[in-house]
Amino acid sequence: MATASPEQDFPPLLPAEAAFDFSSPPIAIKVGSPNPQMFYVDESVLRKSSKFFDAALKKEWKEGQQRTVDLPECDPEGFKVYINWLHSGKIYAKLECDEDSDRCYDLLTKAKRRGGIRRF
């Protein structure tokens, strides 16, 4: 029986500087209005994925100091799609795109716009 080489057993190594840093408390994100939904997301994940969050979370801004971002104009369902995509690289949605293609397109567009997703 042949033994597996190290290249087959492990994914390629990447620079440590490219890794997410999970050592800080999460950022609280209040999404939607008038009944907002709270999301708690790792700061490094947000900042590496979005120019908007990278700018908003700088220490000179209120959001960076309070570690809270308020997004009343955003749709909580679309934001949830975006956050799941950040963590998994996959799109999860509660609807069948074949049955409601306009709603599916709208949801994916909102998620893409919020996070700067380049492709699905």
Flag whether 52 is in a domain.
Answer: yes
The answer to whether residue 14 sits within a structural domain is no
Concatenating the DSSP letter of every residue in 34-86 gives: SS-EEEEE-HHHHHHH-HHHHHHTSTTSHHHHHTEEEETTS-HHHHHHHHHHH
Q: Let me know if residue 1 belongs to a domain.
A: no
Which structural domain, as residue segments, surrounds residue 64?
24-115
Q: Does any domain span residue 4?
A: no
Q: How many domains does the chain have?
A: 1
Token pair recorded at residue 93: 């949605």
Residue 5 forms part of a structural domain = no
What is the largest distance, in Å, between two alpha-carbon atoms of the chain?
A: 64
Return the pLDDT at 119.
43
Cis peptide before 34 (omega within 30 of 0): yes
Q: What is the pLDDT along the chain (120 residues), one digit of tens a residue?
A: 555 555 567 888 888 887 777 788 899 999 999 999 999 999 988 888 888 899 999 999 999 899 999 999 888 888 888 888 888 888 787 756 555 556 666 666 666 665 544 444
Q: At 109, phi and psi to the nearest 5?
A: -65, -40
Q: What is the CATH number of the domain that holds 89?
A: 3.30.710.10
Q: How far apart are CA 89 and CA 70, in angstroms?
A: 24
Asked whether residue 11 is domain-assigned, the answer is no
Instruction: Look up residue 103 and give its two tokens.
Output: 């709603």
Residue 96 lies in a domain: yes
82, part of any domain = yes
Residue 42 contacts residue 20 (beta carbons within 8 Å) = yes
